[in-house]
């Protein structure tokens, strides 16, 4: 497999009056061609910021301050805003969580999709509208030609998310980044959208990055999963390895605290004590150490690096000195 | 089985939409229709369903936070639905609610201590002198140290704020708490902490919960009985175990089938519900689910199916389901 996107040592800081606060601290991440990668983590772990930083969509005051992100032979982090604008939509498509705030409320659906097409391919308006109709059909919107004339408020939440997907796909991107695209949707509609993106990924041969906090959802979607905690990748492995042989204490804790449709009702769920560190208040060494049952003194000494897990899948890497046996070697 | 704590009969809620210069009634949203159920003392009764199915409206109408348009809510021999604000006051102490977003329900200018003291003093449950000890105990109950009493909501994390919201509900020693999506906004690791807390408090204080949620795995974990709602009506009501083991209503089945499973090898070919929930402004005739139901027949379009008991405690509102083991009809191919 060839790497489509290769992120190395990415750091992101928030500018605060009191000085910069680090939110992403040295992320290494690879997305292969045609692969479906899940990025999992809780609020504030930096999963969305990491992806937004690649295409220059970080909010004011938040900046990528280090690292590289190779995509198609160029470093995304060094590109000018002008180059990035060309890339967005054409090479890298986005779907966001809330379609109501991403769509322009006073612009017809068809015009919004056509706008993306005209900008990226320079096609004429009538041709763009025809193509917009085809895209709506592709994402499963009933009577797509009529829907071109609709405004966003005339559509349901699920239909609006389908329109967002159509816009995300307009430039035939090689990488589609889906940032919690189903969080605002009901479970039966979520299932429809998930089926749709999965089917489109295969049909269009794109790589898809799913950003989510929902472990159960990602289990059926991703080929590989990266677990983020406090701005670092703590574990990276094929999906079945993550669920069957999780290695990092945080991954294990997350999976353990998840109620499932097969567990013992009314039992107390194993929960992880405490809360994730706030940006700028990162503990020294492993960021998870203060909440970790396995933590030893060495954990707070240095930030652990992602290393291969002995005896597991060769692609299974974890940032923990205890579960990889490095602590014994050091002792 | 314990006695019912609250008996709900034919509870209805309609929201009128008024338009035009004279505010003529243009339409009504049928948010809740003929909700009938007992809530048993000490149980966790959960309501599940998709947005707009009326689960939160049910909770609000039971507490008379929204005035029901019809039906009765019997608590301690009194019909709460007939009471005005003054009449409700003596009952408020017993009947509490915890909302989804503690950030918008806690006063940002009040310390946690002040927020928790308010209901205690209002209901005369402690004197000023007893108050500090009382606050310490209350905070300890929800797993917070007494240092939190002097903090403001913005200094707390989401999980801690939700603990405070629970403490505030507990402050007046209630018997019944409506948890309206109380854990939905929390991260997984924190959600487990709050779920455990709710279970511990229920045991300690013999609380009865009405748990409103859309996460079915969570609901299965903490419920004794579960009601599944669709467009303002109860589709199925059953003991939690029976509902998840043998769901009978076609909507319940579809809903359960749509829940993603934390298992990468789980079958991906599932039953998918086509289309979306129709508008409650103009709900479908007969069974409200018939527009999306794979079993729908003419009967379903014409008559509302009654909520029938097909097994002990297992009630289903579906023409096709007359016993707990068989579905009478084959799916209609479109």
ipTM of the complex: 0.81
| Residue B57 confidence class, pLDDT cut points 50, 70, 90 | very high
User: Are B264 and A255 in contact (CB < 8 Å)?
Assistant: no
E strands present in chain B: 4-19, 24-40, 44-48, 70-75, 78-79, 95-98, 176-180, 208-212, 225-230, 233-239, 308-311, 314-316
* pLDDT of amino acid A239: 95
Q: 3-class DSSP state for residue B217?
A: helix
Does B47 lie at the interface with A, CB-CB under 8 angstroms? no
* pLDDT of amino acid A240: 95
E strands present in A187-321: 207-212, 224-229, 232-238, 307-308, 317-318
Q: Who wins on pLDDT, A239 or B275?
A: A239
For residues B198 and B180, give the distance between their C-alpha atoms in angstroms, rounded to a whole number: 13
Determine contact, residues A292/A274, Cβ cutoff 8 Å. Answer: no
Residue A329 in this model has a pLDDT that exceeds 60: no
Residue A303 in this model has a pLDDT that exceeds 80: yes
Nearest-CB residue to B189 (from A194, A214, A271): A271
The arithmetic mean of pLDDT across residues B249-257, rounded, is 92
Largest Cα–Cα separation, chain A? 71
- Residues present in chain B in total: 334
- Scanning every residue of chain A, which has its alpha carbon at the shortest distance from the alpha carbon of B184? A183
Chain A interface, Cβ < 8 Å to B: 42-43, 156-159, 186-192, 194-195, 213-217, 219-220, 239-240, 243, 253-255, 257-261, 263, 265-273, 275
The arithmetic mean of pLDDT across residues B231-242, rounded, is 95
Q: What percentage of chain B has pLDDT greater than the value 70? A: 95
The C-alpha of A72 sits at a distance from chain B's nearest C-alpha, in angstroms, of: 31
Residue A100 in this model has a pLDDT that exceeds 80: no
Over the range B119-148, which residues count as b (16 or more CB within 10 Å of their CB) and which as e? bbeeeeebeeeebeebbeebbebbbbebeb
Q: 3-class DSSP state for residue A147?
A: helix
Would you call B3 exposed, middle or buried from its count of C-beta atoms within 10 A (0-12, 13-18, 19+)?
Answer: exposed
Q: Chain A contacts of B158, Cβ < 8 Å? A: 43
Long-range CB contact pairs, A61-65, < 8 A, 24+: A61/A14, A61/A15, A61/A16, A62/A12, A62/A13, A62/A14, A62/A15, A62/A23, A63/A12, A63/A13, A63/A15, A64/A10, A64/A11, A64/A12, A64/A24, A65/A11, A65/A12, A65/A13, A65/A20
For residues B156 and B149, give the distance between their C-alpha atoms in angstroms, rounded to a whole number: 11
* pLDDT of amino acid A246: 95
Q: Who wins on pLDDT, A111 or B29?
A: A111
For residues B111 and A229, give the distance between their C-alpha atoms in angstroms, rounded to a whole number: 31
Give the Cβ contact number of residue A116 at 10 Å: 22
Q: Chain A contacts of B256, Cβ < 8 Å? A: 261
Q: What percentage of chain B has pLDDT greater than the value 90? A: 71
The arithmetic mean of pLDDT across residues B68-74, rounded, is 96
User: Are B258 and A190 in contact (CB < 8 Å)?
Assistant: yes
Residue B144 in this model has a pLDDT that exceeds 70: yes
* pLDDT of amino acid A9: 96
Q: Chain B contacts of A158, Cβ < 8 Å? A: 276
Would you call A255 exposed, middle or buried from its count of C-beta atoms within 10 A (0-12, 13-18, 19+)?
Answer: buried
* pLDDT of amino acid A157: 83
User: Are B199 and A271 in contact (CB < 8 Å)?
Assistant: no
Residue B64 in this model has a pLDDT that exceeds 70: yes
Nearest-CB residue to A261 (from B50, B223, B259): B259
Give the Cβ contact number of residue B10 at 10 Å: 12
Taking CA atoms, B274 is separated from A190, A192, B294, in Å, by 12, 8, 9
Residue B319 in this model has a pLDDT that exceeds 80: yes
Determine contact, residues A262/A55, Cβ cutoff 8 Å. Answer: no
For residue range B162-198, what is the model confidence (pLDDT) as tens digits? 999 999 999 999 999 999 999 888 888 889 999 999 9
User: Are A255 and B256 in contact (CB < 8 Å)?
Assistant: no
For residue range A231-249, what is the model confidence (pLDDT) as tens digits? 999 999 999 999 999 999 9
Q: Chain B 109-168, CB below 8 Å of chain A: which residues?
A: 157-160
With tokens 């209002």, the residue in question is B122
Nearest-CB residue to B260 (from A156, A217, A272): A217
Nearest-CB residue to B189 (from A156, A187, A254): A254
The C-alpha of A81 sits at a distance from chain B's nearest C-alpha, in angstroms, of: 34
**What's the token pair of residue A326?**
């490095």
Over the range B71-91, which residues count as b (16 or more CB within 10 Å of their CB) and which as e? bbbbbeeeebbebeeeeeeeb
For residue range A173-204, what is the model confidence (pLDDT) as tens digits? 999 999 988 887 888 888 888 888 888 899 98
Q: What percentage of chain A has pLDDT greater than the value 70? A: 99
For residues B190 and B179, give the distance between their C-alpha atoms in angstroms, rounded to a whole number: 16
Mean residue pLDDT of chain B comes to 90
Contacts of B130 (CB under 8 A, 6+ apart): none
Q: Chain B 276-295, CB below 8 Å of chain A: which residues?
A: 276-277
Does B223 lie at the interface with A, CB-CB under 8 angstroms? yes
Residue A330 in this model has a pLDDT that exceeds 60: no
Does B85 lie at the interface with A, CB-CB under 8 angstroms? no
Determine contact, residues B192/B184, Cβ cutoff 8 Å. Answer: no
Closest CA to A230 of A272, A178, A270: A272
Determine contact, residues B141/B201, Cβ cutoff 8 Å. Answer: yes
The C-alpha of B255 sits at a distance from chain A's nearest C-alpha, in angstroms, of: 6
With tokens 């500090």, the residue in question is B132
Q: 3-class DSSP state for residue B227?
A: strand
| Residue B334 confidence class, pLDDT cut points 50, 70, 90 | very low
User: Are B264 and A239 in contact (CB < 8 Å)?
Assistant: yes
For residue range A14-25, what is the model confidence (pLDDT) as tens digits? 998 888 999 999
* pLDDT of amino acid B329: 67
* pLDDT of amino acid A331: 47
Does B220 lie at the interface with A, CB-CB under 8 angstroms? yes
Q: 3-class DSSP state for residue A233?
A: strand
């Amino acid at each position: 497999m060839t790497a489509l996107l290769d992120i190395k040592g990415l750091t992101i800081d928030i500018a605060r009056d009191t000085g910069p606060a680090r939110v992403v601290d040295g992320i290494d991440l690879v997305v292969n061609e045609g692969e479906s990668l899940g990025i999992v983590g809780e609020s504030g772990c930096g999963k969305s910021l990491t992806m937004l930083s690649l295409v220059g969509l970080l909010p004011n005051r938040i900046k990528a301050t280090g690292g590289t992100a190779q995509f198609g032979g160029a470093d995304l982090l060094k590109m000018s805003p002008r180059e990035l604008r060309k890339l967005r939509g054409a090479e890298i498509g986005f779907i966001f969580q809330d379609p109501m705030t991403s769509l322009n409320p006073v612009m017809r659906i068809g015009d919004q999709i056509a706008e993306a097409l005209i900008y990226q391919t320079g096609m004429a308006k009538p041709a763009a509208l025809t193509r917009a109709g085809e895209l709506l059909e592709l994402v499963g919107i009933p009577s797509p030609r009529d829907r071109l004339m609709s405004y966003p408020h005339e559509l349901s939440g699920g239909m609006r998310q389908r329109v967002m997907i159509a816009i995300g796909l307009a430039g035939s991107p090689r990488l589609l980044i889906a940032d919690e695209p189903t969080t605002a949707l009901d479970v039966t509609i979520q299932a429809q959208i998930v089926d749709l993106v999965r089917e489109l990924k295969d049909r269009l041969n794109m790589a898809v990055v799913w950003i989510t906090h929902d472990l159960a959802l990602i289990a059926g979607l991703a080929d590989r999963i990266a677990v983020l905690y406090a701005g670092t990748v703590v574990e990276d492995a094929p999906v079945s390895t993550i669920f069957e042989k999780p290695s990092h204490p945080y991954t294990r804790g997350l999976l353990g605290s998840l109620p499932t449709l097969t567990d013992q009702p009314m039992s107390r769920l194993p929960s992880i004590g405490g809360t994730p560190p706030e940006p700028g208040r990162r503990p020294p060494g492993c960021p998870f150490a203060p909440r970790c049952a396995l933590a030893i003194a060495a954990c707070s000494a240095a930030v652990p690096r992602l290393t291969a897990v002995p005896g597991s899948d060769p692609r299974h890497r974890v940032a923990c000195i205890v579960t990889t046996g490095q602590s014994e070697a050091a002792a | 089985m314990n006695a019912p704590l609250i008996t709900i009969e034919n509870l209805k809620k309609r929201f009128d939409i008024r338009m035009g210069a004279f505010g003529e009634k243009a339409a009504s949203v049928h948010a809740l229709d003929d909700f009938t159920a007992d809530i048993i003392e000490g149980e966790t009764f959960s309501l599940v369903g998709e947005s707009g199915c009326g689960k939160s409206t049910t909770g609000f109408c039971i507490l008379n936070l929204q005035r029901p348009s019809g039906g009765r809510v019997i608590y301690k021999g009194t019909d709460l639905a007939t009471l005005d604000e003054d009449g409700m006051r003596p009952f408020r102490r017993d009947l509490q609610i915890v909302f989804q977003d503690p950030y918008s329900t806690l006063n940002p200018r009040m310390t946690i201590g002040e927020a928790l003291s308010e209901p205690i003093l209002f209901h005369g449950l402690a004197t000023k002198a007893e108050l500090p000890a009382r606050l310490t105990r209350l905070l300890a109950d929800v797993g917070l140290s007494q240092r939190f009493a002097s903090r403001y909501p913005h200094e707390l994390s989401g999980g801690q704020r939700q603990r405070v919201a629970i403490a505030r509900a507990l402050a007046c020693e209630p018997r019944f708490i409506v948890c309206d999506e109380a854990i939905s906004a929390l991260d997984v690791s924190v959600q487990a902490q709050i779920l455990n807390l709710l279970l511990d408090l229920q045991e300690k204080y013999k609380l009865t919960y009405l748990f409103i949620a859309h996460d079915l795995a969570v609901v299965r974990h903490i419920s004794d009985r579960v009601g599944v709602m669709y467009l303002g009506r109860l589709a199925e009501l059953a003991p939690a175990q029976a509902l998840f083991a043998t769901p009978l209503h076609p909507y319940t089945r579809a809903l359960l089938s749509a829940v993603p499973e934390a298992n990468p090898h789980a079958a991906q070919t599932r039953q998918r519900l086509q289309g979306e929930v129709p508008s409650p402004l103009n709900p479908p005739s007969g069974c409200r689910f018939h527009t999306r139901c794979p079993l729908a027949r003419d009967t379903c379009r014409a008559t509302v199916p009654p909520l029938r008991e097909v097994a002990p405690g297992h009630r289903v509102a579906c023409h096709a389901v007359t016993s707990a083991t068989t579905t009478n009809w084959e799916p209609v191919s479109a």
